[in-house]
């Protein structure tokens, strides 16, 4: 059916221009504005009916979610918190789940972005326990020459043979991030994401971009020294996926299902384009630019990152920290065996597939410093554990814009204060 002129006016309405002004200028008929205001609007924060938290905690977290969405002009947001023993927990959602205004629910799945690195690190450590690979193995011993040849040429020297699996896990290889701005001067994948441009790529493209369009930042670090230079690189984790696939003889999606998702009963977590959720699951919330939902199927699939729910993520993290995914208790400690400053993400530090962030005394709960250990994602996702409070936090703002990189740390500090009172 053809759209009416009023419908066209609504679609063209900029979210940055108040409709009263457009109406006064004669650019938007007042009847159309009244129609727009009569459309169903998503209600305020929807808490989960299963929440187990004090009434004042519920009020503070609900208000925090409402403020986060309104002040940042976001399409939606969700968060979840649970104590280590699971006796106290809270989750909620605010905003719309889609472009039609359907209310977002606390259990709505979302693109988790680089939180997936925790899952990749888990698979690598499991493979190490099983003797399928070693953390100090050279990557050239696991990947074909067409992948590794000339991959890390720094100051005229090919350092690729010196790179180990542990280097990739800890971002200490010096390899560039294929998401960064290329030498050619074209837009980076980060900028294309921010602009809502849907682009796809393959593993071969990652290797080509790393070799031809970017330069290494430093030589692979001496991992026996007390400290190393570290620089966050998505390239390293794409290589880790290829390594663990070759070492086990199984594709990434199958490994995740067999070794993590099925054992933990994570029925609403899947790899887009490669697997499906184990149980009926509603459509995932969209990644957005402010309030505008984006269509990014190729980019989300190319990233090799998961879609999941806050409930599944928290269940995974609690099992990971408890050692339930490993055969030996000492394996869990490897995740935080080191804490190197990320040169391109100061003040964040990194272990093995593990982000380490210190909340200052001024920002922390009760005016005391605390630590957050876990991972964040470029679309404003987070999954962290606060050891001092034995508290787990997960959530998302599902944003493609640049502020989404730092937003999770600001939000988590506020969550800790809201929970602690």
Q: Pseudo-torsion of CA 145, 246, 272, 408, nearest 10°?
A: -80
Overall size of the chain counted in residues: 421
For the chain, list the domains and their CATH numbers: 110-420 (3.40.710.10)
Helix (H) or strand (E) holding 240: helix 234-248
- What is the per-residue pLDDT across 11-62, written as a single tens digit (0 to 9) for each? 333 333 333 333 334 444 444 334 333 344 555 899 999 999 999 999 999 9
How far apart CA 376 and CA 357 sit, in angstroms, is 10
How far apart CA 337 and CA 348 sit, in angstroms, is 15
Look at residue 198 and tell me whether its pLDDT is greater than 70: yes
This prediction has a pTM of 0.89
- What is the per-residue pLDDT across 361-385, written as a single tens digit (0 to 9) for each? 999 999 899 999 999 999 999 999 9
How far apart CA 115 and CA 126 sit, in angstroms, is 18
Look at residue 2 and tell me whether its pLDDT is greater than 70: no
Look at residue 292 and tell me whether its pLDDT is greater than 50: yes
How far apart CA 339 and CA 158 sit, in angstroms, is 27
Residue 118, classed as helix, strand or coil, is: helix
Look at residue 319 and tell me whether its pLDDT is greater than 50: yes
Look at residue 251 and tell me whether its pLDDT is greater than 70: yes
What is the share, in percent, of the chain residues with pLDDT greater than 90? 83
């Amino acid at each position: 059916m053809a759209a009416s002129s009023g419908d066209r006016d609504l679609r063209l309405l900029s979210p940055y221009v108040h409709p009263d002004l457009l109406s006064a200028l004669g650019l938007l008929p007042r009847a159309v504005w009244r129609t727009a205001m009569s459309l169903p609007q998503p209600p305020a924060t929807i808490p989960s009916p299963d929440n187990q938290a004090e009434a004042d905690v519920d009020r503070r977290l609900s208000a925090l979610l409402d403020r986060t969405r309104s002040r940042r002009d976001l399409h939606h947001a969700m968060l979840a918190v649970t104590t280590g023993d699971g006796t106290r927990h809270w989750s909620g959602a605010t905003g719309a789940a889609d472009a039609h205004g359907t209310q977002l629910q606390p259990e709505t799945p979302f693109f988790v972005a680089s939180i997936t690195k925790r899952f990749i690190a888990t698979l690598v450590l499991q493979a190490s326990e099983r003797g399928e690979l070693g953390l100090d193995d050279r990557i050239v011993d696991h990947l074909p020459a067409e992948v590794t040849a000339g991959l890390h040429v720094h100051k005229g020297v090919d350092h690729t043979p010196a790179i180990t699996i542990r280097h990739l896990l800890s971002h200490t290889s010096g390899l560039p991030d294929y998401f960064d701005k290329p030498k050619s001067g074209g837009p980076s994948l980060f900028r294309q994401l921010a602009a809502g441009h849907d682009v796809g790529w393959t593993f071969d493209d990652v290797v080509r971009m790393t070799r031809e369009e970017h330069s290494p930042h430093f030589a692979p670090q001496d991992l026996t020294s007390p400290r190393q230079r570290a620089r966050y690189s998505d390239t390293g984790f794409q290589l880790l996926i290829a390594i663990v696939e070759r070492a086990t003889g199984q594709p990434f999606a199958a490994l995740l299902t067999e070794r993590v998702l099925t054992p933990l009963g994570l029925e609403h977590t899947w790899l887009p384009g490669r697997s499906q959720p184990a149980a009926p699951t509603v459509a995932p919330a969209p990644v957005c630019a402010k309030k505008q939902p984006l269509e990014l199927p190729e980019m989300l699939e190319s990233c090799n990152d998961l879609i999941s729910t806050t409930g599944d993520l928290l269940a995974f993290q609690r099992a990971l920290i408890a050692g339930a995914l490993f055969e030996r208790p000492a394996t869990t400690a490897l995740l935080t065996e080191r804490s190197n400053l990320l040169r391109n993400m100061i003040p964040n530090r990194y272990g093995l597939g593990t982000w380490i962030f210190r909340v200052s005394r001024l920002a922390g709960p009760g005016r005391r410093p605390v630590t957050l250990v876990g991972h964040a994602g470029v679309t404003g996702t987070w999954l962290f554990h606060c050891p001092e409070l034995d508290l787990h936090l997960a959530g998302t703002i599902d944003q493609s814009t640049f502020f989404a990189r730092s937003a999770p740390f600001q939000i988590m500090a506020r969550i800790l204060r809201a929970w602690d009172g």
